[in-house]
Amino acid sequence: MAPRYTMTIVTDFAAAHYLRDYEGVCNRLHGHNWKVEVHVQASALDRVGMGMDFKDIKDATRGLLGGLDHYNLNDIAPFDQINPTAENIAAFFYSKLSDVLNSDVVKVSAVTIWETDRACVTYTED
């Protein structure tokens, strides 16, 4: 079997949103303290013995958070066109982080977005 290492970082941001075409109270502007988990898999270690430095994962994730933290997500692309659901936010992080972090031996494997302490969604691709 080939080795596989999974590095995970957890961070958070605060942002408001509302859901278009939703029948319920979430169609009104409201906020969350979102928690973001990023899982990165490596098939080999570098010369230091790391799959990927946690700092690199944190920096890439924080770079995305800067454009979302303390904003109304509905005002920010792509969420000005698609609903800023936890599912869509997870897919957004996965795509953007994959563009920055993926290499021949490292791949973003999953992103989990926690909307509350009791509700989350995980996005991954095969």
Does 39 appear as a known binding residue? no
Whether 26 sits among the annotated catalytic residues: the reply is yes
3-state secondary structure at position 73: helix
Catalytic residue among 39, 70, 87, 120: 70
Does residue 39 have an active-site annotation?
A: no
Instruction: Give the active site residue among 26, 39, 87, 120.
Output: 26
Residue the block writes with tokens 């290499």: 103
- Do residues 106 and 52 lie in contact, with contact meaning Cβ atoms separated by under 8 Å? yes
Asked about 115 being catalytic, the answer comes back as yes
b/e map 36-52, b = 16+ CB within 10 Å = bbbbbbbeeeeeeeebb
Q: Residue 69 is encoded by which pair of tokens?
A: 């933290």
Binding site for Zn(2+): residue ranges? 17, 30, 32
Task: Report the binding-site residues.
Answer: 17, 30, 32
- Catalytic residues, by residue number, are 26, 70, 115
